[in-house]
Structure formats: structure tokens, C-alpha cells
Amino acid sequence: MDVGAVAHGGHCVARHEGRVVFVRHALPGERVRVQITEGAATDRFLRGDAVEVLEASPDRVPSRCPVSGPGGCGGCDWQHVTLERQRELKADVVREQLHRLAGLDSPLVDGLTVEPVPGDDDGLAWRTRVQHTISPRGRLGLREHRSHQVVEIESCPIAVGRVQAIELSSPQWVGASRVEVVAPSGGDKPLVLVGPVGHRRPVLPPASALDASLAVSTPGGLERVRGRTWVREQVEVGDWSATMRVSGSGFWQVHPGAPAALVGAVLEMLEPAPGEQALDLFAGVGLFAAALAERLGPEGAVLAVEGDPHAVRDARRNLHELTQVGITAGRVDQVLATVLESGMTADLVVLDPPRDGAGRRVVEQVVAVRPRAVAYVACDPAALARDVKTFAEHGYQLDALRAFDCFPMTHHIECVARLVPAPQS
């Protein structure tokens, strides 16, 4: 097949006898031999792997991971691509999603570039959190693409050195179903979280073999074996800094440079002024709320809303000294319904939703509080495009957009968009 444009999801588009084939491990412009991995004769499209390159792109490079490629680990999509070209492909995907799903055709979108963030080594050694699955032999592994098959690994080259050290020192995990390793940005030891098989207690390595905190996941929560069941993450943006507590496998950006890059972009776009009122929606452990509070000062106010109870507990610890911050636990749409009933308005809103986006109801509620600016932090360009379209239907337009390469070697990308009231005609 002749390979066409990149598509959202880490593959490129090709055609065979009139049908679309989504091809992994290829590059636009290449001619490749494809093994079909999913699909039947009656399906509208097929999926496949490029198993032989007949005409290579000049942007193709040898993979630096021994288990990357067809039939290997599904974690990395672009190990075979130069880092510069990876970022161009990601920008192409964001532009295509905003064109197609949001109907945007503007220099702002057309001129988008993907920015690197500090903290990786030419696209490697950046991932601070890795959740491994365990093979039938009890060895660390990662799953194949769109499969439950486990690919055993010795160490993951996109993981930071402290994660790789644990992978190499403790390759065998008898009685475990999963092992997550967290290497925080501060000086804390890594945290290892072990999921057992059924109700059996896994065989755990001794302290002499594993220089890390250790806990076992149980139906009642984390059972501490030694050390802490949480880590401290440090963030610095200009002259502002914070130390955030994150419990267990709670959400935190996995690239060490991502939190500072995203906070910096949000503050730059919103330009918070002392005394303003802000909403931090899908607030997690309170990162954006803390940064906003510092800019708004004691006369301002931030309401942080988060649905995950573990994240809420961490946020209360992280933000307890900031008296201008309130924290409400609950589903964002339900909390916003109460906010609107009270007549509350907000000058600023930060939206950092999960991968499927904020959704129509939340967008409509955000518009109803009439903020002067919304900063939308998006980990999925399709979800961003859908929500930007909903904002536009309610009088808010996209007027700033940045994209960050927080996940080198993969198709994932983080965007920060600013939405403001559109001029009245």
C-alpha cells in the first residue's frame, strides 16, 4: 500500500480496493507491505501493521526500543520517526481535528506548532509513571496494541532512570497482576504499587532488593508495606513554586516538564488579576487552583471542583493554607448546576477534563457563568475540537492555542486553548 496522511490515534491512512486501512508503524509517503490485524470483508475499514518497508520516508529512523514495532509493545507509536517529524505529525492531527470537528479554518490553527517541554533525552527517559502488567511467567511486561497479550520487557526506554532501575532490579513478580512504578520529581523514593492476582498475596521483594516505598492494592484501598503510599511532586513556574502531594496511582502528568509547561501556558493565557474569581474544574490534586490563588491574591477566590475522592483528599492537603481556595467534591456538572442556581459568576475558568472531554452540558454551564476567559487543557484533540464547537455555538471563540509534546514517541499530545466571548456583530 501507499501510505497517506497521518490520522488521530497513532496510525496513517491507506486504501486497499476502495477501503480505508489504518496502518501503524508507517509514515506518510511510504510504500509498505501491510499485514491486516483487524477487520473482515464486510467492514468499512481495516487495521494493519506495516511489516515491510518498500520505499522509506527520509524521516524514518531505527527504533531505540527492542520491543517496539509490529507485534510488540503498544505503548509507543512513533519510535521509528525522528522527533522533529513526530511533532509535525501531531500538529497535523490537531489541525485536522479542529478543521473537521470544530469547523475552524484560521491562521491560529493553520500555524500551530508542537512545542517540546524540558525533561526528556531526545524523546526518551521521560515517563515518571509506568503501569506494568505481569506475564504468565511473572515477569514485567506491557500490552500489545489493542490486545491483552503481554510483551515482556527488561526496561522501558521512555521511562526515567529511576523507573528503569526498579524494572531491572525486580523483574520477577510472582502472584502479581500489575506493578505501577512512580518516580516523583522531588527527592522522595519511588513508590511501587502492586496489584495481586485475585485474593492471593503477591511475593514482594525485600527492602534490600527494592529501594522504594511499597504498597499492595486491596479492595479496601492501599495496604502499606513500607515507606509512604504517596509522593511529593514539585512544580516551578517563574517565581512561583509548589509541592503537591499525590496519593497512590492518582493522576499527575507523567512527563516531568509537563506540569510547569501547562501551568505556565494557563497563566499566560488567562492573565489572572488580583481580586478576580476563578473556577478550576476537574481540579485533580489542586495544581491549577494553587497557581491561580497566588495570582489572584487574598482578595480573589478560586473554587476547585473534583469528583475523585482520593484526589479531593490530596487537594485539601495541598491547598489548606490558601484561604481563598474552596474545594467541592462531586461531579463537575452537578456542582456547576448548584453554582448557577446560587447566581455565582466567575471571571476565569480552567477546564482540565479527562480524555473524553468536558462535554456539552459542562460547556454550556461554563458559558452560563460568563467568564471573560476560559483556559481548556486537553489531552485529546478530538474531544477539544468537539467542545470548541459547542463553545462557538454559545458565543465563545478560540483565540489562543498551544500544543506541547508531553508524550514523545507516542501519538498523545497536550493542548492549551483559550476561549473568550466572541465580538458582538
How would residue 200 be classed by pLDDT, with cut points 50, 70 and 90? confident
Cα→Cα distances 9→22, 46, 71, 89, 146, Å = 9, 14, 17, 11, 11
* Across 57-83, average pLDDT: 97
Is 379 catalytic? The answer is yes
Q: Has 391 been labeled as part of a binding site?
A: no
Cα→Cα distances 204→159, 193, 360, 423, Å = 22, 11, 46, 62
Res. 83: pLDDT tops 90? yes
Q: Has 22 been labeled as part of a binding site?
A: no
Q: What is the tens place of the pLDDT at every residue in 30-52?
A: 999 999 999 998 899 999 999 99
Res. 185: pLDDT tops 90? no
Length of the chain: 425
Res. 220: pLDDT tops 90? no
The DSSP result for 42-103, as a single string, is T-SEEEEEEEEEEE--TTB---SSTT-STTSBSS-S-TTB-HHHHHHHHHHHHHHHHHHHH-
Among 65, 73, 379, 406, the active-site one is: 379
Q: Has 276 been labeled as part of a binding site?
A: no
Which domains are delineated in the chain? 3-60 (2.40.50.140), 129-183+189-227 (2.40.50.1070), 255-421 (3.40.50.150)
- Identify which of 198, 412, 217, 240 has the alpha carbon closest to the alpha carbon of residue 310: 217
- Identify which of 270, 260, 250, 265 has the alpha carbon closest to the alpha carbon of residue 372: 270
C-alpha cell belonging to residue 26: 508507517
How would residue 360 be classed by pLDDT, with cut points 50, 70 and 90? very high
Give the β-pairing of 414-421 and 191-196: unpaired
pLDDT given for residue 88 in this prediction: 98
pLDDT given for residue 187 in this prediction: 77
The answer to whether 20 and 46 are in contact (CB under 8 A) is yes
Q: Has 306 been labeled as part of a binding site?
A: yes
Rg (CA), the chain: 23
pTM score of the predicted model: 0.96
C-alpha cell belonging to residue 254: 507523567
pLDDT given for residue 276 in this prediction: 98
How would residue 199 be classed by pLDDT, with cut points 50, 70 and 90? confident
Q: What is the dihedral of CA 271, 275, 276, 281, to 10 degrees?
A: 100
How would residue 321 be classed by pLDDT, with cut points 50, 70 and 90? very high
pLDDT given for residue 205 in this prediction: 92
Q: What is the mean pLDDT of the chain?
A: 96
pLDDT given for residue 41 in this prediction: 84
* Across 81-97, average pLDDT: 98
Q: What is the tens place of the pLDDT at every residue in 324-357?
A: 999 999 999 999 999 999 999 999 999 999 999 9
